[in-house]
Amino acid sequence: MSEVTGKIMPMDTDAFWNLIESCRRQAGGPGERLAHLRAELSRRPVTDVVGFQARLEEVTDDAYSWELWAAAERIFGGWCSDDGFFYFRLWLVGLGRAAFERALAEPDSLAGAPEVRRLVGRPRRAWDDDWPDWESLDYVAAEVHEALTGTHDEAATFYDLVHAEERPSIHPGADPAGTCWDVCDEAAAARRLPKLSGLFPIDRTRG
């Protein structure tokens, strides 16, 4: 509660990342971590549930760059859809604050993340729970909000509250930050993403 206004303030960025780190400490795969996150949010005020989603949308917006999209494409063998890149950014959040912020500053740093190293040399069809996306992270706060409030009309309730509370997008034109480039251009990839390019060859059979 704010000492100045007396109002309950929504979850701030530090509290958001603390909750993600708590989630990361759970054993098991994405399902177990998501169950932990759902339980933690369910014990908090509704303002925290709204704040969690607002902070999630803000940090994924921070990661909306052509260079990170290229990193995702390299990991996936040369191609990543719009939706795939959104789910990839949610997965980046799940790596924790330190790894996330390193990736924003230097996308090639993902080559050193244990979650990425586990994928090297394995066929993508065998990645299973290690696949670099976490789509369900985007739904958990809405599910908890519905359970806590009994409200079913998400568009008129939960997401209205989220959008009123989050900061304006830093990408209002819907274009990623930076400059688009062809990740299949090996010379460019070797220069811009040397580590990831060495670990993940382009899938020449695609398409």
Which DSSP state fits 81? Answer: -
Determine the Cα–Cα distance for residues 152 and 161; give it in Å rounded to an integer: 14
Q: Global pTM?
A: 0.91
Domain of residue 124, residue span: 13-199
3-class SS of residue 39: helix
| Confidence (pLDDT) at 4 | 39
Q: Is residue 91 part of a domain?
A: yes
| Confidence (pLDDT) at 172 | 73
The residue written with tokens 């060859």 in the block is: 201
* Number of domains observed in the structure of the chain: 1
| HEC secondary structure over 35-53 | HHHHHHHHCCCHHHHHHHH
Q: Is residue 87 part of a domain?
A: yes
Q: Is residue 204 part of a domain?
A: no
Q: Is residue 4 part of a domain?
A: no
Determine the Cα–Cα distance for residues 5 and 2; give it in Å rounded to an integer: 6
Q: Is residue 207 part of a domain?
A: no
Q: Is residue 206 part of a domain?
A: no
Phi, psi for residue 162 in degrees, rounded to 5:
-60, -50
Q: Is residue 62 part of a domain?
A: yes
3-class SS of residue 206: coil
CB 192 within 8 A of CB 67: yes
Phi, psi for residue 108 in degrees, rounded to 5:
-65, -15
Name residues whose C-beta falls within 8 Å of residue 48's C-beta, 6 or more positions apart in sequence.
10, 11, 15, 41
Blockwise average pLDDT, block size 10, the chain, 207 residues: 49 95 84 93 94 96 97 96 97 97 98 96 93 96 92 73 88 86 96 97 74
CB 29 within 8 A of CB 118: no
Q: Is residue 135 part of a domain?
A: yes
